[in-house]
Amino acid sequence: MFYSVFLWRKGFREDNRTNYFLLLFAFIFHTLAMTERGFSLQRCPVNNLYEATLFIAWTIVAAYLVLGAWSRLRFLGAFASPILFVMGVFALMPALDAPHGLQPAFINGWSSLHAALIFLSFGAFGLGSVAALMYLTQEHDLKFHKLRAILSLLPPIQRLERVVSGLLTVGLVLFTAGLSLYPLLPPQKNSAYVLSDSVIIWSGFVWLLYLALLIMRWRGQGGRRFAWGALGSFAFILLTFWGVMLLSALHNS
């Protein structure tokens, strides 16, 4: 994250690979830690808010490493690093890593696949918001700092808009797939009230929110509003997901 500050100050005028490789090395250690935790628990490590946060961050970095193979999109890491740093610090809160067995929110089988697909979609939404932030930065520079925009190596805003749209589409497909597994999950207590659970209502709202964004984009109403929508939607997820999960009787039964 600190190295990203220098890239911002330089105006992204260098095709600098250092940030990419720093995230690559972090991704390797992150993957090893998640794998070790999964094997030690004999299940997919998506059982509590601590593991959910790490899984979402892992997905964002994995997607970035693929897109970062193109030099023009490599600066996504400079925009993603502060978000990943904040998520990592948040995940270290002791209360998020509750003892296993007390709150088995996500267990083996369909439940683990359901959770994994949902968190993968959050990763796609998160990287889409990062690309949207890059779009807004480039648009601002074109409007107020034309020389800096010309000298920087950021991709054209048209390409960034397509990247944002593609990532949100992938995210919505994964989110829909995860939600579609809900009927296959083990029955919960008080199942008659499941549809009124906070996480179900929240998930429906998030699904409609991203669907509306993509419809707006497909109808040719992209640009600045679309970028702000992508950025604001993921900010909404980050700010509300944890509270919704803690309030959900379905995921704490």
17-26 pLDDT per residue, tens:
778 888 899 9
Q: Are 22 and 11 in contact (CB under 8 A)?
A: no
pLDDT (0 to 100) of residue 31: 92
How many whole angstroms separate alpha carbon 165 and alpha carbon 170?
A: 9
pLDDT at 208 > cutoff 90: yes
pLDDT (0 to 100) of residue 46: 72
In the predicted model, what is the mean pLDDT of residues 78-85? Answer: 82
pLDDT (0 to 100) of residue 194: 63
Q: Are 224 and 136 in contact (CB under 8 A)?
A: yes
pLDDT (0 to 100) of residue 49: 77
Mean pLDDT, the chain, rounded, equals: 78
Lowest mean pLDDT among 105-109, 128-132, 139-143, 244-248: 105-109
Q: What percent of the chain has pLDDT over 70?
A: 74
174-194 pLDDT per residue, tens:
999 988 887 766 655 444 456
146-184 pLDDT per residue, tens:
655 444 556 677 778 888 898 999 999 999 998 888 776
Which is more confidently placed, 206 or 148? Answer: 206
pTM, entire model: 0.71
Q: Write b or e for each residue in 113-128: b if 16 or more Cβ atoms lie within 10 A of its Cβ, otherwise e.
A: bbbbbbbbbbbbbbbb
